[in-house]
Amino acid sequence: MWEYYRGKSIFLTGGTGTLGTAILCRLLNQAAPKRVFILCRGGLESAYAKWQKLLPDAMATALSQSSCVTFLSGDITLKQMGLHESDWRALKKSVQVIIHAASSISLTCPLPKLVTSIIAPSLSLAEIAMEFADLQHFVYISTAYVNSHLWKTTDRCDVPVKECIYSLGPYQEIYDPHNLEEWAGFGPQTEHEWRSVLDTGTSIEFDYNDFPWPYAYAKHLTERLLINTFMQNEATEKLLIVRPSCLGPATSQPYPGYSSLSTSSTGLAASLMLYAGNTMKLPTRSADPENEVTMDEIPVDVVVDRILSHTAKGTFGCVHAVAGKRARLSFNDWWSAVMKERRLPWLVKPEWLPLDWHSPKLHSAAKFYVILGTSFAFEDDQVSRLLAKLNAHEKLHLKLFVDEIGETNPYDLKPRRHRIRQMGMKIARKRHLPGCFVKLCCRSGPPTNQALAQKAQHSMHDYGSTLGLGVVSKETEGEVVRVK
């Protein structure tokens, strides 16, 4: 499947983010694309600064010096993403694959703001994409929680979610983007809804459905608007919508443990480290929450491999990138791992209450992560279909599934200590707590990126060669040599 990318040009937005950086590394490492255009705020300089926080120095340097990466300084909230007409001309002429990963990931940001940071830019990019001479795939990165409003539509404790579009009307209808006839009546309704969001900052659909965050609704509406655009242009088969659940640290690519502060379970763990109480009020309707409440976390490299292989094999429509029923965590697994890391000498016990997820009585972390007392059974049948299209050699070199948590592979937060402490510092700044309190509460660990850089197998020599930059000789170690 890597052959698909040989000689292709890719336009990647969000290439400095957690997911985008991992996509870029994997592409350069494994495939031989002709060019990757990266849209980023502040261009090369700021991309390099961001990669330095995510990657070992040598790897950040290698990416920023790669001769097949072109940096386009832009901002998705601006008209035409702030790019020059000449940049668009170059993109329209040469790009075959667009991966749109740039997005606000602020869960609580109000809907009117998400119009400019999620919905409008994605729609505008899709419209421009229709003018690309040789576009083969447009990949939109959404979230599995676009359908989290389903929690409120049933009494079940484990809510099944299909790789489809759920209508937000009074009747829960399901649309499969593969079936155009069914979609026909739904399109104009979505346009009407979008007009309402633009004119009034909300819509009946948003008000009627109880989404945990405006972010989830914004992604839901974006998915439907994109389907409309591609359908109207008879290009439905070019649109792939990938819905990751919660991104977790990488198992191996770009390096084991690669992660950032956008990992929600890390943020949640940090707030528990700093919590001085001994009980935490959490909402649930489950009779046995410790075992029935679940958390779906997927290593970022599994998401990357699913995105790149689905794209290469021509999957279209909606695809979940999730741990799924097989490998999601029980609340117990997760909570025990957090308590093991906690430094304050008393443990916190969850106090499960039959409260609404917007109840003011909840602990602040539960108010923010709202879905903490829920369980979603995300279907991921599309990955089984994908497997059937891959040969044995391809399967061997892809990481498409999450390892199950068990006795031999317990869920462990130890490798994330550095990120948990960083997140603790961020929380402390907001709450005006002293840094020394964070140091007292959060264990220290080596910065994942630099620690790994010191390991022999991840030396600068390896980074230079694996990122397609040519071999760096021992004599020139310290500077990355580019092969033109």
Ligand X SMILES: NC(=O)c1ccc[n+]([C@@H]2O[C@H](COP(=O)([O-])OP(=O)(O)OC[C@H]3O[C@@H](n4cnc5c(N)ncnc54)[C@H](OP(=O)(O)O)[C@@H]3O)[C@@H](O)[C@H]2O)c1
Binding residue for ligand X (CB under 6 A) from 14, 187, 214, 283? 14
Rank residues 50 and 461 by Cβ distance to ligand X and give the closer one: 50
Residue with smaller CB distance to ligand X, 105 or 344 = 105
What's the N-to-C CA distance of the chain in angstroms? 25
Least distance (Å) from ligand X to the CB of residue 3?
26
Each residue 93-122 as x (binds ligand X by CB under 6 A) or -, in order, gives --------xxxxx-----------x-----
Q: Which of 437, 446, 453 is nearest to 416 (CA)?
A: 446
DSSP class of residue 328 equals: P
Among 260, 309, 448, 449, binds ligand X (CB under 6 A): 260
Q: How far is the CB of 472 from ligand X (least distance, A)?
A: 27
Q: Which residue, 51 or 352, has its beta carbon nearer to ligand X?
A: 51
Q: Which residue is nearest to ligand X (CB)?
A: 17
CB of 261 to ligand X, least distance (A): 8
Yes or no: say if 447 and 293 are a contact pair by the CB < 8 Å rule. no
1, 246, 293, 295: which one contacts ligand X (CB under 6 A)? 246
When the beta carbons of 272 and 348 are compared against ligand X, the nearer one is 272
Scanning residues 139 to 198, which ones bind ligand X (CB under 6 A)?
Answer: 141, 143
Question: Under the criterion CB under 6 A, does residue 424 sit at the interface with ligand X?
Answer: no
Binding test (CB under 6 A) with ligand X, winner from 41, 389, 439, 443: 41
Does residue 50 belong to the site contacting ligand X (CB under 6 A)? yes
Give the interface segment with ligand X, choosing from 26-34, 204-212, 241-249, 322-330 (CB under 6 A): 241-249
Does residue 262 belong to the site contacting ligand X (CB under 6 A)?
A: yes
Distance separating alpha carbons of residues 154 and 167, to the nearest angstrom: 15
Contacts of 385 (CB under 8 A, 6+ apart): 315
User: In this structure, are residues 307 and 239 in contact, taking their beta carbons and an 8 Å threshold?
Assistant: no
CB of 200 to ligand X, least distance (A): 23
Shortest reach from residue 208's CB to ligand X, in Å:
23
Contact of 25 with 254, CB cutoff 8 Å: yes
Least spacing, CB of residue 21 vs ligand X, in Å: 8
Looking only at residues 60 through 99 of this chain, which bind ligand X when binding is defined by CB under 6 A? 75-77
Whichever of 141 and 240 has its CB closer to ligand X, that residue is: 141
Residue (76 or 383) nearer to ligand X, CB: 76
Whether the Cβ atoms of residue 258 and residue 449 lie closer than 8 Å to each other: yes
Stretch that binds ligand X, among 15-23, 226-234, 387-395, 407-415 (CB under 6 A): 15-23
Other Cβ atoms within 10 Å of 49 Cβ, number: 13
Q: Which is nearer to ligand X, 50 or 238 (CB)?
A: 50
For ligand X, the closer CB: 228 or 264? 264
Is 247 one of the binding residues for ligand X (CB under 6 A)?
yes
Residue 184: Cβ within 10 Å count:
10
Q: Cα angle at 415 between 412 and 416, to 5 degrees?
A: 95
- Compare residues 249 and 464 and give the one whose CB is closer to ligand X: 249
Instruction: Report CA-CA distances (Å) from 346 to 60, 277, 335, 350, 443.
Output: 41, 9, 14, 13, 15
- Taking each helix axis as running N to C, give the angle between helix 18-30 and helix 43-54, from 0 to 180 degrees, rounded to the nearest 10: 90
β partners of residue 378: 161
Whether 119 contacts 159, CB under 8 Å: no
484 half-sphere exposure, CB direction, 13 A CA radius: 0
Q: How far apart are CA 428 and CA 436, in angstroms?
A: 10
| Residue from 264, 330, 375, 449 in contact with ligand X (CB under 6 A) | 264
Cα radius of gyration (the chain): 22
- What DSSP state is assigned to residue 288? S
Question: CA–CA separation, 215 vs 199, rounded Å?
Answer: 18
Task: Write out the two tokens for 331.
Answer: 């609340």
Q: Interface residues with ligand X (CB under 6 A)?
A: 14, 16-20, 40-41, 50, 75-77, 101-105, 117, 141, 143, 244, 246-247, 260, 262, 264
